[in-house]
Amino acid sequence: MKQIKDLYEKDKPREKLLLKGVSALSNRELIALIFGSGGKDHPLMSISKEIEKLLEDEKLEALDIGKLSGIPGVGNSKACQILAAFELAKRFYIESEKPLIRTPEDLLPLLKDYADKKQEHFLTVTLDGSRRVIDVHLTFIGTLNQAPLHPREVFALAFTDRAASIIVAHNHPSGSLIPSNEDKKITKQLREIGFFMGIELLDHIIFTKGGGYYSFAGNGWFTGNCIEILKVSEEIKQV
C-alpha cells in the first residue's frame, strides 16, 4: 500500500485538490485529507481504505465512535474528528432540504394533513442538533383524557431517531385552542422526562383546521426550572 510520500507530487490528495479541485478527488482521498496523517504501522491510505469500506457497509447515521476507533490506526481523537466533519456536512448540505424549526409557524406545514381529522392525532417531531426535522411520527390517535398517551412512546421514537430534541403536537377537532388539563399534564410530564433524559421538549403545539395554533412555549410554559415544573405538575394533578 502506497504512503502519501510515495505518490507522485501532483497525485497527493492535497496537491491534487489544489490543482484539479475537490471534485477530482476519490472518496478515499477525501477521507485521507480529513484524517490528516497515518503512522509507521498504519499508512494513511490504508486507514482511508478501511474507513471508506466502513462507510460503504454502514449507513452514515449508524457510524459511531466505537466503529471508527475499531479500525487499526484510528483512535478516539481521530474518530471524533471524522464524525464531526460528517455531521457538519450533513447539517449544511445533506440535510439542508429538511425543515429548520425556529418558530411554531415553521412546523405548521408538516401538521396540515392532520388538522381536519375527526379524532385527536398526537404527533412527535424529532429534531437534530441544529433543530432540523428528522421525522414526524404519528404517535397516538384518540382523546387524551380517555386513553392517556404514555411518555415512553414519545421518547422511544426520540431514541430511535437519535434526536437532540423533540416537539409534540396534536389537533383539536373541536376547533378550540384552549389546552385541556390533560394537555397540560402530558406537557409537564414530557418536559420533566426530557429534562432528565437529555432530550429537550421544545414545545407542545395544539392546532386546528382553521390554521390557528396554541404554543405552550410561546405562552410561557417552559420558562421555569425543573423544581418549578414539578410543582406545577402537582398542581395539575389536584385540578
Assigned C-alpha cell, 212? 390557528
Residues 6+ apart with CB under 8 A from 2: 43, 45
Q: Residue 36 pLDDT > 90, yes or no?
A: no
Q: Domain 104-238 classified CATH 3.40.140.10?
A: yes
**What element of type H or E holds 127?**
strand 121-127
Q: Do 110 and 99 form a contact (C-beta atoms < 8 A)? A: yes
Q: Do 87 and 96 form a contact (C-beta atoms < 8 A)? A: no
79-85 contact pairs (CB < 8 A, 24+): 81/34, 81/35, 81/36, 82/31, 82/34, 82/35, 82/51, 85/34
d(CA 18, CA 12): 10
Assigned C-alpha cell, 205? 403545539
Beta bridge mates, 201: 166
Average pLDDT on 84-111 reads: 80
The pTM is what? 0.58
Highest mean pLDDT among 78-82, 99-103, 204-208: 204-208
More confident residue, 122 or 53: 122
Give the Cα-Cα-Cα angle 33, 36, 42 (nearest 5 degrees): 115
More confident residue, 145 or 14: 14
Beta bridge mates, 132: 100
d(CA 120, CA 174): 10
Q: What is the CA radius of gyration of the chain?
A: 24
Res. 78 pLDDT band, cuts 50 70 90: confident
Res. 225 pLDDT band, cuts 50 70 90: very low
Looking at residue 238, what is its pLDDT?
A: 43
Looking at residue 233, what is its pLDDT?
A: 40
Lowest mean pLDDT among 14-18, 96-100, 234-238: 234-238
**Span 178-223, pLDDT tens digits:** 999 999 999 999 999 998 888 999 999 999 988 899 999 999 888 7
Instruction: Classify residue 85 as exposed, middle or buried by CB count within 10 Å of its CB (0-12, 13-18, 19+).
Output: middle
Domain ranges of the chain: 4-94, 104-238
Question: Mean pLDDT for the chain?
Answer: 80
